Structure 1
């Protein structure tokens, strides 16, 4: 009969007890507290972004004030910009109501050619809506009339690439505006026309929503966004020096380009 090893002392026996667990109520309180911390961080980052503008609002003239040499910066608030009544016979769809909070797409015939009008703010998701809209337009449009105070940069870039891929010309009449992200739509036209009196303006952009990211990651996102814009302008044969005015103009102001500047940056083309 084989010898059995002596039994282990009680203190050396393997434990069969499970690790202590937090009560469900304590776990829920901890998760809720963590959510409050993240919400406070997000709110704080948003406040840091807008407080300077609230404390020191722009003293620039209203956007409706006439331009002068070296006097091209105007106050910018997309919620306060309404369409200017179109002059008879200059635009397929006269704009006489409030500026839509997201792009309104209309296809029609103008001077015997199929055209589309894009009116309103560029909201997130408008690029996908625009792609769906284009599938319903037959025959394909030859021109796109623009009238927008701007909005989502990424959607504007995506829509611009769609416009260029279809060989559509972009056009603005004398009472149209194209501000903030809208000039990227203008830049997409195979041919680009801006009538005297139209307002085309650029400024600094936000890229994506604020998140609780370290500062270096936030800067990286901004740099990535600017790089994408520069690549887009190059693909559209636009002089990237146009970004100089955008980078020097805060988000609550807009730098209005003169006809000579638009021509020098190739934002407009000879018709």
Structure 2
């Protein structure tokens, strides 16, 4: 009888532990799929940088994503629930940002190899041209990356894989994968590990090969997956203003979310959503503009923590903030604006409450406390704060020109600066000066389904304009034309406040 009782107890415990594991997986899936497309991809990318996720970034939830989230939580001494609290998300972002900064990861347009890819330039600091691409090597020679392109005129893509995996006494292939126009081969060459990937594109194969010694085992594992997830044949690149980072050579290219006009050396323009990486990108923009005096703002908002970091830096440096005509600064962007020693706004300035899940109410209140402390330090009047606290997260309070003066929002002398990014609308086509990008899908059917959902959910924001599907190679984008960047940013801000995802560019860029 005692043995039977013990068996029953053991079975109950086994059932309870199994049920708890599945409950965690289901809860994790529900939480993850509530995130925006950008947030899901960013979470997987951050987990890659910390060595917890070993798969390509796709924004899709699966066992690998669940286990990576749980592994990160356990590494922090917390329960591996698979559901990140706001505190854990900030910790993940901060730690991944430190790795990103240490490696110096930048998007490089490698023209000789016909590719664009994220490369750890601080680690692979020595660059030399090759016959088919470029070689990037660490200072000690123990970590290398070689980009290349191969014509498929005389051989098939599969035949190239056979060449890469053919018997070789100096090479041991431990993994190979082929499909959907991409193949991966990895293994050992003597004491070195290697990872090779090729993609079929426009009659050629473009790719890269990484090799690293045992002292770089962690960096090799992280970098191989990170590069594979952020690799694009140049023929399929999106417009330049959509790129998050640009190669730091020649002229004054964008620094992530920032534009550095060549003819205005005292100006930096924020022209994108505020992500967890934007504050680090701002540091790089400041380093590239040592004589900066004015920070212009055109953003629908985004990460509060990142915005507060930039605001603190602007206030310390006593910089002027400026919202140019036909542009807008909303939500978290407003905290950056208020940090300016002098503040001018010819475009729109909008505020609302901080958005947060009920389960994270305590953390939301802590974040709100940080915001209120910053606004007090910046000398923001109580009327401004009252409008912010009274406006729901799914709405936006835009200050009128009269209120900008009445509430002491503006300070200093008016600026004689022209910041022109938008292009005029084309009456013949009914096009707009800006585009709100709402979704990106791999086929037309999924794009149409996404378009229908978006139109049904946010039709009240769109007026008479309706989302449309545009194809660019194998990518199908759901987008909305807008008459100005100002209007586009207002729409995107409202969508983000309601839990959606989007970003804005000038039309034709």
Give the TM-score of the pair, scaled to structure 2.
Answer: 0.33
CA distance in 1, matches of 2:32, 2:299: 29
* 8 A Cα contact 2:270 2:295, kept in partner: yes
CA distance in 1, matches of 2:332, 2:302: 6
The counterpart of 1:34, out of the listed 23, 26, 31, is 23
Partner of 2:375: 233
* 8 A Cα contact 2:258 2:281, kept in partner: no
Structure possessing the higher radius of gyration over alpha carbons = 1
CA distance in 2, matches of 1:126, 1:200: 20
SS in 2 for 1:192: strand
CA distance in 2, matches of 1:234, 1:262: 17
Per-residue CA distance 1:178-220 (angstroms, 9 max, x = gap) = 111111111111211112xx1111112225xx58x4xxxx332
The counterpart of 2:267, out of the listed 96, 99, 115, is 115
CA distance in 2, matches of 1:227, 1:146: 24
SS in 1 for 2:355: coil
Structure 1 186/248 Cα, relative in aligned 2: closer, same or farther at 3 Å? same
CA shift, 1:107, in A, is 2.0
The counterpart of 2:328, out of the listed 167, 170, 177, is 177
CA shift, 1:100, in A, is 5.4
CA distance in 2, matches of 1:173, 1:43: 36
* 8 A Cα contact 2:258 2:272, kept in partner: no
Partner of 1:270: 412
Identify which of structures 1 and 2 has the higher relative contact order when contacts are C-alpha pairs closer than 8 Å and 6+ apart: 1
- Unaligned runs of 5+ residues in structure 2 are 1-8, 36-238, 245-255, 414-509
SS in 2 for 1:182: helix
Query: Greater share of helix residues, 1 or 2?
Result: 2
Q: Does 1:134 align with 2:134?
A: no
CA shift, 1:246, in A, is 1.8
Give the 5 Å matches for 1:145-184. Answer: 145-184=296-335
- Unaligned runs of 5+ residues in structure 1 are 1-19, 47-96
CA shift, 1:240, in A, is 3.6
Per-residue CA distance 1:115-164 (angstroms, 9 max, x = gap) = 111101111221122223322x2433111111111111111111111112
CA distance in 2, matches of 1:236, 1:99: 32
Query: Greater share of strand residues, 1 or 2?
Result: 2
CA distance in 1, matches of 2:353, 2:240: 25
Q: Does 1:244 align with 2:400?
A: no
Partner of 2:338: 187
Q: Does 1:200 align with 2:353?
A: no
CA distance in 1, matches of 2:401, 2:366: 30
Structure 1 179/101 Cα, relative in aligned 2: closer, same or farther at 3 Å? farther
CA shift, 1:44, in A, is 11
* 8 A Cα contact 1:239 1:266, kept in partner: yes
CA distance in 2, matches of 1:150, 1:26: 46
Structure 1 235/176 Cα, relative in aligned 2: closer, same or farther at 3 Å? same
Give the TM-score of the pair, scaled to structure 1.
Answer: 0.60
CA shift, 1:26, in A, is 6.3
**Greater shift in the superposed pair: 238-247 or 154-163:** 238-247
SS in 2 for 1:163: helix
CA shift, 1:101, in A, is 9.1
Structure 1 40/192 Cα, relative in aligned 2: closer, same or farther at 3 Å? same
CA distance in 2, matches of 1:190, 1:110: 24
* 8 A Cα contact 1:101 1:120, kept in partner: no
* 8 A Cα contact 1:186 1:267, kept in partner: no
- Provide the aligned C-alpha RMSD in A: 3.5
* 8 A Cα contact 2:307 2:335, kept in partner: yes
Partner of 2:502: none
Partner of 2:363: 221
* 8 A Cα contact 1:101 1:121, kept in partner: no
- Equivalent pairs counted in the alignment come to 192
CA distance in 2, matches of 1:138, 1:149: 24
Give the 5 Å matches for 1:250-265. Answer: 250-265=392-407
